[in-house]
């Protein structure tokens, strides 16, 4: 080690010295001490490593030598080692790192992808009533498990069971943590140790490791596959039945479709066979919905009501897919099965929490009046948004964006399609109007990255070297934020920074 380097390392401020600086004391008053101390240590250490690295590259300091008494070298620059040692630069770095560490990790993002139920972006967005219900229940105590009339212990399911009975037509209902848990609980309760007959065309993987054969194994049921990938007949179910058979399971193939030479046994046929042979039928609908979306020209999917009416003994579906509520697994069906599930030991392990329950109740209440549901539940509002509205939103967004990025990109409104998402209705193309942005000189991926890393993060699609912004999934007030985010990027672009 040269004498000069030793001297430089000695000049490096000590951790305690930095902690005593007023800027850092200010940080200490607003942030956890452990975080501030950790960041000070890291910054001092980084400066030390920086010094060592520069010296090993360039030899001992020499070039850029300080002109005595000025603090600057002959070109008027600070010698590089001063930059590394300067207390104000070090404290600024500490401040930046502490602020970054203090940001909440889970935070809102702007979804400009047009995928309404985006699994990576938290699926369904809650409506106003649900938000208020969550706040009310979260900020104080609640009657979660207290019957206010009798004063006795109550059931957490009581808050939604009547609503679910009324909305689905089922005899009884309960809710658990998510639909994967609902399926696991229903199988465990209805057919553990026995054979469950499922069509080979319905042995699906939903994503996030929900695979029908694996859930079946977890529940202690024995999978009895029947039919083929594309065709399963009623006789296949019939022939599979023996004294071990505990259940017929129908699974909605949610995120894929087999088209062409296909045959699926309808729920009604399965129910008829089941009742003849004394075998219950369960229908895992996945993204069950309570409003017939066909009426709005969307998809061709059965409602939960239709499954119950067709005679399914138990129906399971998600709370945060097309229903537009919070993460939950809803189980509706015959009273004796639901009663048995409520008593099953697994139920405690998969029980729904009070905040989800509050949001779910408020969301279900909207369904009591279909027109309210379609207006007040964001998922339904986005799915049924008229093309004229999408068009005027796209034009407004394009105008705002053009004002900011005029020289840096070509901006146009174009026809495109939005997706339902959430593994639901994979073939349904929702006609929409999008804003396409083609950056002129910098890669489109760089724009997408800067948008994603900004505050707030904006998530977009990329297609044919263009950013695609779909106004369908933008919430109130977000157009302005998207335009601002793009303006920051085009400023970057002009200054040649970061791209």
Ligand X SMILES: *Cc1c(COP(=O)(O)O)cnc(C)c1O
Note the residues at the interface with ligand X (CB under 6 A).
Answer: 178-180, 183, 206, 210, 251-252, 254, 284, 286-287, 318, 329, 423
377 Cβ contact partners less than 8 Å away, ≥ 6 residues apart: 127, 324, 325, 363, 366
> How many residues are given for the chain?
499
C-beta of residue 201 within 8 angstroms of C-beta of residue 225: no
Residue nearer to ligand X on the CB measure, 254 or 305:
254
Compute φ and ψ for 420, nearest 5 degrees.
Answer: -70, -50
Residue nearer to ligand X on the CB measure, 317 or 493? 317
Distance CA(492)–CA(311), nearest Å, equals 61
Please, what is the minimum distance in Å from the beta carbon of residue 197 to ligand X?
A: 17
- Minimum CB separation of residue 287 from ligand X in Å reads 5
Considering the complex, what minimum distance in angstroms separates the CB of residue 428 from ligand X?
Answer: 14
Give 273 or 330: the residue with its C-beta nearer to ligand X: 330
Q: CB atoms < 10 A from the CB of 96, how many?
A: 12
User: Do residues 153 and 162 lie in contact, with contact meaning Cβ atoms separated by under 8 Å?
Assistant: no
> Rounded distance, CA 197 to CA 281, Å?
10
Q: How far apart are CA 36 and CA 94, in angstroms?
A: 8
Give the single-character DSSP code of 411. E
- For ligand X, the nearest residue by Cβ is 286
Closest approach, Cβ 213 to ligand X, in A, equals 13
- Measured N-to-C along each axis, helices 22-30 and 87-102 cross at an angle, to the nearest 10 degrees, of 10
**Which CB atom, from 157 or from 210, has the smaller least distance to ligand X?**
210
Smallest distance, Å, CB 327 to ligand X? 7
Nearest CB to ligand X, comparing residues 212 and 373:
212
Closest approach, Cβ 295 to ligand X, in A, equals 22
Minimum CB distance to ligand X, residue 207 (Å): 8
Nearest approach, Cβ of residue 302 and ligand X (Å): 13
Q: Which H or E element spans position 173?
A: strand 172-176
- The residues, any chain, with a CB within 8 Å of residue 173's CB and separated by 6 or more, are 157, 160, 161, 164, 165, 330, 331, 332, 333, 338
The smaller minimum CB distance to ligand X, of residues 210 and 493, is found at: 210
Closer to ligand X at the Cβ: 47 or 330?
A: 330
CB of 343 to ligand X, least distance (A): 22
Spatial contact of 488 and 454, defined as CB atoms under 8 Å apart: yes
- 184 vs 275: CA distance, rounded Å: 23
Task: Indicate the pairing of strand 457-459 with strand 430-439.
Answer: unpaired
Which residue lies nearer to ligand X by CB, 254 or 432? 254
Q: Do 460 and 469 contact (CB within 8 A), yes or no?
A: yes
> From the CB of 253, what's the least distance to ligand X, in Å?
7
Nearer to ligand X, 13 or 423 (CB): 423
Residue 363, judged by CB atoms within 10 A of its CB (0-12, 13-18, 19+), counts as: buried
Q: Tell me how crowded residue 452 is: count the other CB atoms within 10 A of its CB.
A: 13
Q: Which is nearer to ligand X, 328 or 489 (CB)?
A: 328
Q: Among residues 28 and 203, whose Cβ is nearest to ligand X?
A: 203
Instruction: Tell me the closest approach of the beta carbon of residue 225 to ligand X, in angstroms.
Output: 17
Nearer CB in complex with ligand X: 206/401: 206
Separation between Cα atoms, residue 318 and residue 118, nearest integer Å: 14
CA angle 340, 162, 158 (to 5 degrees): 60
**Nearest approach, Cβ of 180 to ligand X (angstroms)?**
3
At residue 314, φ and ψ (nearest 5 deg) are -145, 135
Q: Rounded CA gap, 304 and 248, in Å?
A: 18
Report the C-alpha gap between 90 and 78 in whole angstroms. Answer: 15
Dist CA 433 CA 436 (whole Å): 10
């Amino acid at each position: 080690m040269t004498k000069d380097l030793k001297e430089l390392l000695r000049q490096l401020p000590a951790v305690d010295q930095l902690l005593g600086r007023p800027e850092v004391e200010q940080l200490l008053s607003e942030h956890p001490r452990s975080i501030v101390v950790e960041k000070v240590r890291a910054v001092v250490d980084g400066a030390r490593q920086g010094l060592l690295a520069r010296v090993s590259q360039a030899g001992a300091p020499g070039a850029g030598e300080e002109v005595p008494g000025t603090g600057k070298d002959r070109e008027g620059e600070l010698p590089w080692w001063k930059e590394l040692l300067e207390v104000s630069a070090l404290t600024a770095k500490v401040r930046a790192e502490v602020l970054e560490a203090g940001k909440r990790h889970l935070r809102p993002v702007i979804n400009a992808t047009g995928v309404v139920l985006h699994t990576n972006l938290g699926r369904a967005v809650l409506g106003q009533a649900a938000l208020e219900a969550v706040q009310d229940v979260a900020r104080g105590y609640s009657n979660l498990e207290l019957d206010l009339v009798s004063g006795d212990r109550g059931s957490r399911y009581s808050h939604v069971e009547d609503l679910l009975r009324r909305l689905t037509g089922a005899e009884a209902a309960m809710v658990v943590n998510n639909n994967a848990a609902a399926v696991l609980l229903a199988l465990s309760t209805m057919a553990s140790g026995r054979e469950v007959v499922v069509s080979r065309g319905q042995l699906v993987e939903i994503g996030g490791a929900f695979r029908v054969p694996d859930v079946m194994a977890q529940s202690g049921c024995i999978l009895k596959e029947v039919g083929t990938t594309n065709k399963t007949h009623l006789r296949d179910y019939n022939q599979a039945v023996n004294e071990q058979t505990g259940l017929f399971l129908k699974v909605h193939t949610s995120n894929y479709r087999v088209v062409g030479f296909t045959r699926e046994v309808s729920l009604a046929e399965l129910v008829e066979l089941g009742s003849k042979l004394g075998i219950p039928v369960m229908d895992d609908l996945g993204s069950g919905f309570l409003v017939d979306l066909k009426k709005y020209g969307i998809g061709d999917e059965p409602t939960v009501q239709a499954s119950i009416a067709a005679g399914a003994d138990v129906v399971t579906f998600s709370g945060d897919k097309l229903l537009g509520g919070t993460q939950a697994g809803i189980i509706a069906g015959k009273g004796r099965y639901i009663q048995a599930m409520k008593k099953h030991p697994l139920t405690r392990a998969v029980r729904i929490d009070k905040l989800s329950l509050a949001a779910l109740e408020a969301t279900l209440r909207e369904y009591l009046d279909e027109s309210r549901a379609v207006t007040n539940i964001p998922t339904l509002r986005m799915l049924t948004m008229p093309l004229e509205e999408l068009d005027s939103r796209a034009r407004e967004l394009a105008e705002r964006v053009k004002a900011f990025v005029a020289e840096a990109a070509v901006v146009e409104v174009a026809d495109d399609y939005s997706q339902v998402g959430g593994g639901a209705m994979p073939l349904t193309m929702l006609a929409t109007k999008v804003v396409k942005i083609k950056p002129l000189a910098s890669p489109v991926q760089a724009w997408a990255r800067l948008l994603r890393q900004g505050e707030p993060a904006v998530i977009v699609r990329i297609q044919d070297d263009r950013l695609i912004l779909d106004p369908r999934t933008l919430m109130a007030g977000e157009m302005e934020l998207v335009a601002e985010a793009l303006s920051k990027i085009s400023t970057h672009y002009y200054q040649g920074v970061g791209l």
